[in-house]
Structure 1
Amino acid sequence: MNSTLKKIAAALLAALFLTACQGGGKEEYQTPAPVFSYENATIYFAMTDRFYDGDPSKNNSYGRATVDSHGKDIGTFHGGDIPGLTKKLEEGYFEKLGVNAIWITAPYEQIHGYVGGGPEGDFAHYAFHGYYALDWTMMDRSMGTVEEFRTFVDTAHAQGIRVIMDVVMNHVGYPNLQDMLDFGYGNVTGTAEEHAVEAEETFFDYKKYVDYRDAEAFQNFYGDWVRADLPGYNPPGNTEITMALAGLPDVRTEVRDSLGLAPLLATKWAQEDQEDEPWIVPAAKKYRQELPLSPAGYISAWLSAWVEEFGIDGFRIDTAKHVEVERWKELKTLTSSALKTYREKHPESPAAKFTEDFFFMGEVWGHGILKDYYFDNGFDALINFTFQGLKKDGPAFLKKNQNSVYQKYAEVLNTDEDFNVVSYISQHDTNLYPREKLMKGGTDLLLLPGAVMVFYGDETARPMGDGGSDPTQGTRSSMNWDSIDEKVLQHFQKLGSFRNRNIAVGAGEHKMLSEEPYVFQRSYDRNGVKNTVLVYQGAPGAVTLSVEGAFAEGSFVRDAYAGSVMTVKDGKITLTVDEAGLSLLEAVEPVK
């Protein structure tokens, strides 16, 4: 076992124990051992480029600028990378948050150049977010090498953390000046430096160097693979499947016949040599050739190769409603098989001990808590767009009755093991939760039934950034490592760790015990696992609370928020509620 794994093992062991004061002395107690289930998942969405810079030497890969020629970094690559994520794993950052799954933006190679950012083209917009795919078979050099990615996944798995990768099948990245020069399409002459955007120009002005009337000029782009508003191409349609979303070239996923390799990729791969090996995904090499596959067939094969190579645990499916659902079902079959292959080939890997199936989490814009045909076509969960708006207005819903949001979520989600949603309070395509209310927002989210997603920086009160003319770009600001709100961070850590240790929080039956103060019980009794918690929200200070039916007489109960341990006497405990007005109660056992 290497030194990193030894440190991780020691940290995991230490996390199972706590020291608390009782009767003036110190005593050690053992907390509940975490039981992983996506029903109780706390998924941390790290926009990799904006999270942590672990290797500054990668920051200008492919000639990408850190600051555009207008002096802005709204849409540039900021330097966050896979080594940065690994460093934070090794420091225990995610463990302390109780995170048991990390969702990362697509690490595969993105378009090299920029397009105009925002409706006014007032900033250079690069593919820092991973949604402008260029080559699904290679690591993007801004992100890291294959071996650096392997280290990241293995380190996460050693901590019991699953890795969910963002993937796109609906579209490829925009045509852009740098790629036109690199891969010979668009009939552009000169260099990117010669076409730099001046102060009086917008970042749409690069188009004046491109010949948009010459069909032959674009044949080295993606050819028959896509619909696009380009000369000689199949035009976009007017349905969810055939439209060019945000003007992106739309992959013709309905095609079942082989169309050969995409021209751009054939050109790109022919240019590569031995020096490119550290970035090529080994399991994808067999798919980098002419095969009897359709465009969607190729993309599915390439994506499944990541699972086979690294043991990726799940995908977050971007723009799911813009691709035929049967295509997603086919991809789920491929990835499930690939994950099984990985576990069989790597019996020494911590991931070989994981028993859950490959996880499919879909983004269907505007979708709420509705079990529909997506769940019959490979999806295990959909992102829940309704919770963010509901929670923005504060805590009033928690004080109603058993028909509250918590009660309804538990009744709908936790009575059906095949139905799950992923809820959030902040998101990269909508807005950030009010920064001054994050203590409340964190409480409401991390105590919610079903899976939840913590958007990077909600736990540190990361401020909204400059978005220029684009109203959502500011949600993607760089992580505020130098200005962390420690009070908010500690709040998220206590809640997240409590949730991770107690499967009942996300997956249990919900029962309100008191409306004022608000007290509820969550109970889980399935698959040979029993777990019960109580949560108190009300006035701080000394409180006597009935716990009969939740915790046995004479048992020990820990308030995971205040860190104190009480003994149940006459069915009651007396606790000192923290000034935050929150107590998180779990059963513990004294260490013999």
Structure 2
Amino acid sequence: MSRKIFLLLIPFLLFYSFQVQADEKEEQSWQDEMIYFIMVDRFNNGDTSNDYEVNPNDPYAYHGGDFKGIIDQLEYIDDMGFTAIWLTPIVKNEEKGYHGYWTEDFYDVEEHFGTIEEFKTLVDEAHKRDIKVILDLVVNHTGYNHPWLVETDKQDWFHERKDITNWENQEDVENGQLLGLPDLAHENPDVEKYLLDMAKWWITETDIDGYRLDTVKHVPKSFWEKFSKEVKSVKEDFFLIGEVWHNDPRYVAAYGETGIDAFVDYPLYEKLVDTFKEPDKRLDWLHKIWLRNQAFYENPYLLGTFLDNHDNIRFTREIIQERQNPETRLKLALTYLYGAPGIPIVYYGTEIALDGGNDPDNRRMMSFRADKVIIDYISKLAEIRKQYPSLQKGDFEILFEEKGMAVFKRTYKDETTILAINNSSSTMTANIQSDKIGEGKELRALLNDELIRTTQESYNISMDRETSNIFEVHEKTGLNWKFIAAIIGVWIVFGLFIVFVKRRAKRQK
């Protein structure tokens, strides 16, 4: 680099050094994450050498997805802004256990997915991109034909073979067989020790960052208390997010007393789907649910919010059944997911509006040749969520709701953002009094170039039908004297530097 070019760059280098010092980034926590949920067998076939009895035409068979396939698509996941991936179970499963929930060996890796060394590579490659890895773990049951079932010294490792007949009876829920799967007896000290040792082994062996705990309500709370303490002693900030499939948030929240950090928010899920699958549904209940979650959960910001998963009909199918446009409805729902409290969890394929009915139709093979409109939209939402802490940690206040048009305010420290959703089938305008947002401010849209200023004593937020946006509350645009002063100061320093250099050159001559 020549001296002249270097001298010209000095003021800009000085200015940007000031900016870096000013923008101190807060420490990342789990409530700041955005999770991409992958069913390993149905995501991407990266290694055909492990395709044993693979049949893509049979929805109950293996389709070829593996660790190599996920590694090959980590850049795709990273580009969408996801900071964590949740994988379905990877342990060795029985025939046609493509989903991972029919365990044959708790310590071995399913051969269709690859080797344990390949999984370690997957974790390492994810960590290089600052992507955390959450592994699905099943400790409630084994596969239908687990070797322990015929071992004479393991007969007391299982509960009596009987189905769950009374779902309101907790003892029945914990001791009965779920879908006929052999139910483990956690009260047996040998079973307890085996499962705890196994869970700790996977952490130390592969350096994963968290567990998604399957079928939590079917396992006694006394086991989860020991489990939480044991696994968290292995790795600092190890994350436990549980699946308690129940509509009563009080029932779900009660498991937080066991040490499980978070839960997928099933009580919210069904309401989200019902509201966003078609227009003209009111949105004021969203704030009521937030108030309810604050009352019941120790940290409601850690709840995993989702629109679909591997156990339910695809959100796209719900939309199609209502004869609506999947792209339009998905954008609305995703804006809420990323703009409201909670950890957004996106099931693979949602970003391409993948269709699917009941299990196993909701587990179709992923396609990487689909339209990128929703992919780009998710990427933009993730970028906004990362940039504004108020969308991760801020409070959640409702400012307006009428016929499906709602405006929410999120505030964290000195930052305020506005989440606006028009879920109606007509253009709507929300008139918000200035004192609710702040006088002398303006709203800068983050999903487009819209700018809203106060009109007398209010803000008028007008939105087309079935659209949404996130706004940054900012000081009114005008001459930025602080910025101008900083630039002038930099150029004065630069001028003095030039004078010094010239004088020194003359002395040397």
Query: TM range, normalised to the smaller chain?
Result: 0.7 to 0.9
Alignment counterpart, residue 175 of structure 2, candidates 234, 242, 253: 242
What's the counterpart of residue 381 of structure 2? 495
What's the counterpart of residue 241 of structure 2? 361
Confirm or deny: 8 A CA contact 1:461 1:485 kept in the other structure: no
> What amino acid is the match of 1:44?
Y
Alignment counterpart, residue 387 of structure 1, candidates 264, 268, 273: 268
Answer yes or no: is 1:66 the counterpart of 2:27: no
TM-score of the two chains, using structure 2 as the length reference: 0.73
What's the counterpart of residue 337 of structure 1? 233
Alignment counterpart, residue 67 of structure 2, candidates 58, 82, 89: 82
Distance 1:221 1:95, change over 3 A: farther
What's the counterpart of residue 450 of structure 1? 342
What's the counterpart of residue 521 of structure 1? 409
TM-score of the two chains, using structure 1 as the length reference: 0.63
What's the counterpart of residue 232 of structure 1? none
| Structure with max Cα Rg | 2
1:388-409 deviation line (CA, Å, top 9, x unaligned): 32123335999858x5313531
Answer yes or no: is 1:477 the counterpart of 2:364: yes
Map of 1:194-233 to 2, 5 A cutoff?
218-219=150-151, 223-227=155-159, 229=161
1:379 Cα deviation after fit: 1.3
Q: Determine the C-alpha separation between the residues in 2 that align with 1:414 and 1:97.
A: 33
State the secondary structure of the residue aligned to 2:352: coil
> What amino acid is the match of 1:536?
A
What's the counterpart of residue 158 of structure 1? 128
1:560 Cα deviation after fit: 2.5
1:575 Cα deviation after fit: 9.7
Q: Determine the C-alpha separation between the residues in 1 that align with 2:164 and 2:269.
A: 32
Distance 1:160 1:410, change over 3 A: farther
Q: Determine the C-alpha separation between the residues in 2 that align with 1:367 and 1:165.
A: 24
Gaps of 5+ in 2: 1-15, 17-21, 166-171, 320-325, 475-479, 488-509
Distance 1:156 1:309, change over 3 A: same
> What amino acid is the match of 1:524?
Y
What's the counterpart of residue 390 of structure 2? 504
Q: Determine the C-alpha separation between the residues in 2 that align with 1:546 and 1:490.
A: 34
Answer yes or no: is 1:428 the counterpart of 2:310: yes
What's the counterpart of residue 289 of structure 1? none
Distance 1:160 1:560, change over 3 A: farther
1:346-387 deviation line (CA, Å, top 9, x unaligned): xxxxxxxxxxx2221111222443364311112112222222
Confirm or deny: 8 A CA contact 2:418 2:471 kept in the other structure: yes
Alignment counterpart, residue 36 of structure 1, candidates 28, 44, 51: 28
State the secondary structure of the residue aligned to 1:509: coil
Q: Determine the C-alpha separation between the residues in 1 that align with 2:295 and 2:77.
A: 26
Q: Determine the C-alpha separation between the residues in 2 that align with 1:397 and 1:333.
A: 46
- Structure showing the higher helix proportion among its residues: 2
1:541 Cα deviation after fit: 12
Gaps of 5+ in 1: 1-16, 18-29, 114-125, 177-182, 186-216, 230-234, 257-293, 341-356, 466-470
Q: Determine the C-alpha separation between the residues in 2 that align with 1:302 and 1:237.
A: 27
1:580 Cα deviation after fit: 6.6
Confirm or deny: 8 A CA contact 1:227 1:236 kept in the other structure: no
1:125-158 deviation line (CA, Å, top 9, x unaligned): x111110112222222222222322222223233
Distance 1:407 1:219, change over 3 A: closer
1:38-78 deviation line (CA, Å, top 9, x unaligned): 33443221111111112121221xxxx212xxx94211111
Distance 1:66 1:302, change over 3 A: same
Answer yes or no: is 1:144 the counterpart of 2:40: no
Confirm or deny: 8 A CA contact 1:96 1:497 kept in the other structure: no
Specify which structure has the bigger relative contact order, considering alpha-carbon pairs within 8 angstroms and separated by 6 or more residues. 1
Confirm or deny: 8 A CA contact 2:396 2:408 kept in the other structure: yes
Distance 1:175 1:415, change over 3 A: closer
Confirm or deny: 8 A CA contact 2:249 2:296 kept in the other structure: no
Answer yes or no: is 1:534 the counterpart of 2:418: yes
Q: Determine the C-alpha separation between the residues in 2 that align with 1:489 and 1:32.
A: 29
> What amino acid is the match of 1:317?
L
1:228-280 deviation line (CA, Å, top 9, x unaligned): 65xxxxx7787222212111112121112xxxxxxxxxxxxxxxxxxxxxxxx
Q: Determine the C-alpha separation between the residues in 1 that align with 2:291 and 2:343.
A: 11
Answer yes or no: is 1:108 the counterpart of 2:91: yes
1:460 Cα deviation after fit: 0.9
Q: Determine the C-alpha separation between the residues in 2 that align with 1:79 and 1:45.
A: 17
Confirm or deny: 8 A CA contact 1:169 1:296 kept in the other structure: no
1:79 Cα deviation after fit: 1.2
What's the counterpart of residue 12 of structure 2? none
Q: What is the number of equivalent residue pairs in this alignment?
A: 433
What's the counterpart of residue 198 of structure 1? none
Confirm or deny: 8 A CA contact 2:92 2:104 kept in the other structure: yes
> What amino acid is the match of 2:107?
T
What's the counterpart of residue 142 of structure 2? 172
Distance 1:163 1:404, change over 3 A: same
Q: Report percent identity of matched pairs.
A: 27
Q: Determine the C-alpha separation between the residues in 1 that align with 2:115 and 2:197.
A: 20
Confirm or deny: 8 A CA contact 1:410 1:507 kept in the other structure: no
What's the counterpart of residue 306 of structure 1? 202
Q: Determine the C-alpha separation between the residues in 1 that align with 2:416 and 2:100.
A: 40
State the secondary structure of the residue aligned to 1:500: helix
Confirm or deny: 8 A CA contact 2:135 2:210 kept in the other structure: yes
